[in-house]
Amino acid sequence: MTYAIEIRDLKKRYDGGFEALKGVDLCVEKGDFFALLGPNGAGKSTTIGILCSLVNKSSGQVSIFGTDIDQDFAKAKKHLGVVPQEFNFNVFETVFNVVVTQAGFYGISRSVAEARAEKYLKQLGLWSKKDAQSRMLSGGMKRRLMIARALIHEPDVLILDEPTAGVDIELRRSMWEFIKKLNEQGTTIILTTHYLEEAEQLCRNIAIISAGEIVENTSVKALLKTLNQETFILDLDNPVPTDWSIEGFNVSIGQDGASLEVDVMKGQSINLVFRALDAMSINVVSMRNKSNRLEELFVKLIKG
Amino acid sequence: MKNSEIWIAFYTILVREIRRYTRIWPQTLLPPAITMTLYFAIFGNLIGERIGEMGGFSYMQYIVPGLIMMSVITNSYSNVSSSFFSAKFQHSVQELLVSPTPNWVILLGYTLGGVSRGLCVGLTVTLLSLFFTHMALESLFLTIIVVCLTSVMFALGGFVNAIYARSFDDVSIVPTFILTPLTYLGGVFYSIDLLPDFWQSVSMLNPVLYMVNAFRYGVLGVSDINVYWALVIVCVFIVVLFSFSLRLLNQGKGIRS
């Protein structure tokens, strides 16, 4: 089977002796929406840097769409589009030139590049800014510009390194809608993010890297199934007395008396809680998770 | 990459480089024109008239080829060093590194970008010099060959400087403390025949002397050194600097972790 990305025993030791990657094995299937998560300094950016040739690997094998980067990196790079964490375009160039120039680096003719630039700048809401110097754009626009630039050679794999850092909620949502559409059209998406709810909502598969090693690599669904306990917050229509309990559940009452925190263990049904509350004539008006489920697992895995 | 794609990538880098220095022409093209006009007016006209002839030509005619070469050398060098270092500093060099553009194309694109600025300024200075003196032309072919090769050599030097530079100070150190003294002592303003034997021998170690004299030979037909040796030296420097720069790029020195 040919993977979109196939990494075998990848190691990276920096000049100062720091071992950033200690033998990473990772496969991303074609068409996947894949999350690579990990705390700061875990090795995410090093892994991505090696994939897009900004970091030299110490050892190991990396293939992009079946092309080994040691055999033909130029061919492998054509499959890859990268949206880095930091703005890295020439801030004195116009928006249009940033995108069209990047196409030139991929050997794409000017006429094709201009047509594609128009298409992607329009899709990302930047067409009205095409003649503006890129330094004049807002933070969110700069991020979208980097996405347009990464797509100009229509790559099979798009790597997004913290693309929504510092982006407001509305823009983040529209960005994800755009990326989801790309994925539906067949582009493999690899995402790193600190917003774990994004990874939970968007990604099918996930790998968690910690201290240069992959500590988990599975589907998001399978990972969430490993949760032993979830805490739900139930908002009530009226405050309730404090001297009561529900058998089999740990229930605590919020400071305002009008909300409950209920711990539900794996295998338990939350229906029992509702039945008990109903019997006591306590009405629940809304319910939510106390914390992001993936976040709980993430912290657990990282702590090891 | 196919040949046609390589050509597009090269052309893109070259056009981007040309667009960069023409966009900021008050910083790149205007200052050398003003500086050289002052040189012509002060050294050529005012002081030159008191100096008299040098090498059988008026002092003004003698220094014009040297001043043209000085501007070509300085601008070829500084264009590449500042442009590539800025790309490193802004991380925009990553746009190229993530692309399939081969390293030799990157090097060639930046080098010829520097050469184009060097030649552009050289041509401007040449045209300005015509307001002050009559210019003879001994050999058009040799003149063009020498100026182009010298420009390539110093553009490559600028690239090496940019690769090693870690701050904007590092980019200005070499032109200020090495390039300018070598150029001023490279026979731009005088013939080394005027120097004592010892300093003549020392001057022969200065590569800029060969280029200035070879260019002067192309224009005026006079030189302190053997012109063919000058061409050999420039070609050797170009081969060495190109190979070295390419090696640094392949290693990712200063641009890859």
pLDDT of residue A292: 61
Taking contacts as CB-CB distances below 8 angstroms, the residues of chain B near A73 are 100
Q: Which residues pair with A82 in a beta bridge?
A: A159
Closest CA in chain B for residue A45: B257
Task: Flag if A89 and B102 touch (Cβ within 8 Å).
Answer: no
**Residue A302 confidence class, pLDDT cut points 50, 70, 90:** low
> Do strands A213-219 and A205-210 pair parallel, antiparallel, or not at all (unpaired)?
antiparallel
pLDDT of residue B82: 94
What would the pLDDT profile of A102-158 be if each residue is shown by its tens digit?
999 999 999 999 999 999 999 988 999 999 999 999 888 899 999 999 999 999 999
Rounded to whole angstroms, how far apart are CA atoms A28 and A266?
30
Amino acid B31 reads P
pLDDT of residue B201: 85
CA B12, chain centre distance (Å):
22
Question: Strand runs (DSSP E) across B199-238, as ranges?
Answer: none
Of the candidates B257, B244, B227, the one whose C-alpha atom is nearest the C-alpha of residue B149 is B227
Task: Flag if A88 and B91 touch (Cβ within 8 Å).
Answer: yes
Measured N-to-C along each axis, helices B103-129 and B140-164 cross at an angle, to the nearest 10 degrees, of: 130
Taking contacts as CB-CB distances below 8 angstroms, the residues of chain B near A14 are 257
The shortest CB-CB distance from A91 to any of B1, B16, B90 is to B90
pLDDT of residue A293: 63
Task: Report the pLDDT averaged over residues A193-201.
Answer: 76
The shortest CB-CB distance from B256 to any of A54, A74, A97 is to A54
Task: Flag if B99 and A77 touch (Cβ within 8 Å).
Answer: yes
Task: Flag if B99 and A14 touch (Cβ within 8 Å).
Answer: no
Task: Report whether A224 contacts A232 (CB < 8 A).
Answer: no
pLDDT of residue A291: 63
Task: Report whether B73 contacts B211 (CB < 8 A).
Answer: yes
Retrieve residue B171's tokens.
Answer: 């980019």
Q: How many other β-carbons are positioned within 10 Å of the β-carbon of residue A239? A: 12
The shortest CB-CB distance from B98 to any of A14, A54, A89 is to A54
Task: Flag if A107 and B100 touch (Cβ within 8 Å).
Answer: yes
Please list the pLDDT of chain B residue by residue as tens digits (257 residues): 889 999 999 999 999 999 999 999 999 899 999 998 998 888 777 787 788 787 788 888 888 888 999 999 999 999 999 999 999 998 999 999 999 999 999 999 999 999 999 999 999 999 999 888 887 788 899 999 999 999 999 999 999 999 999 988 898 888 889 888 888 888 888 888 888 888 888 888 888 889 998 999 998 888 888 888 899 999 999 999 999 999 999 998 888 88
Closest CA in chain A for residue B15: A101
Residue given tokens 């989801």 in the structure block: A180
Q: Which residues pair with A68 in a beta bridge?
A: A63
User: Average pLDDT, whole number, for chain A?
Assistant: 87
**Residue A217 confidence class, pLDDT cut points 50, 70, 90:** confident
Give the CA angle between residues A105, A107, A113 to the nearest 5°: 85
Retrieve residue A245's tokens.
Answer: 């309990």
**Over 80: is that where the pLDDT of A3 sits?**
yes
> Do strands A157-161 and A80-83 pair parallel, antiparallel, or not at all (unpaired)?
parallel
Residue given tokens 């015509």 in the structure block: B130
What would the pLDDT profile of B177-221 be if each residue is shown by its tens digit?
988 888 888 888 888 888 888 888 888 888 888 999 899 999 888
Say how many Å lie between the first and final Cα of chain A, rounded: 32
Task: Report the pLDDT averaged over residues A209-234.
Answer: 81
ipTM of the complex: 0.87
Say which residues have a Cβ less than 8 Å from residue B138's Cβ, sequence separation at least 6: B217, B218, B219, B220, B221
Q: Give CA separation, A135 vs A124, A142, A177, B1, B160, in Å.
A: 17, 8, 26, 32, 28
CA B209, chain centre distance (Å):
13
Identify the H or E element spanning A253: strand A250-253
Rounded to whole angstroms, how far apart are CA atoms B30 and B121?
9
Q: In b/e form, how buried is each residue of B115-131, taking b as 16+ CB within 10 angstroms? A: bbbbbbbbebbbebbee
Rounded to whole angstroms, how far apart are CA atoms A283 and A289?
18
Q: Give CA separation, B236 vs A27, B66, B106, B150, B215, in Å.
A: 48, 22, 21, 11, 17
**Over 70: is that where the pLDDT of A45 sits?**
yes
Tell me the domains of chain A and their CATH numbers.
Answer: 5-224 (3.40.50.300), 228-303 (3.30.70.1560)
SS3 call for A157: strand
Retrieve residue B33's tokens.
Answer: 């024109």
Residue A267 vs residue B83, higher pLDDT: B83
Q: How many other β-carbons are positioned within 10 Å of the β-carbon of residue B92? A: 19
Say which residues have a Cβ less than 8 Å from residue B190's Cβ, sequence separation at least 6: B54
Task: Report the pLDDT averaged over residues A233-257.
Answer: 82
The shortest CB-CB distance from A52 to any of B92, B98, B101 is to B98
Residue among B99, B103, B104, B108 with most chain A CBs within 10 A, to mutate = B99
Task: Report the pLDDT averaged over residues A204-228.
Answer: 82
pLDDT of residue A303: 65
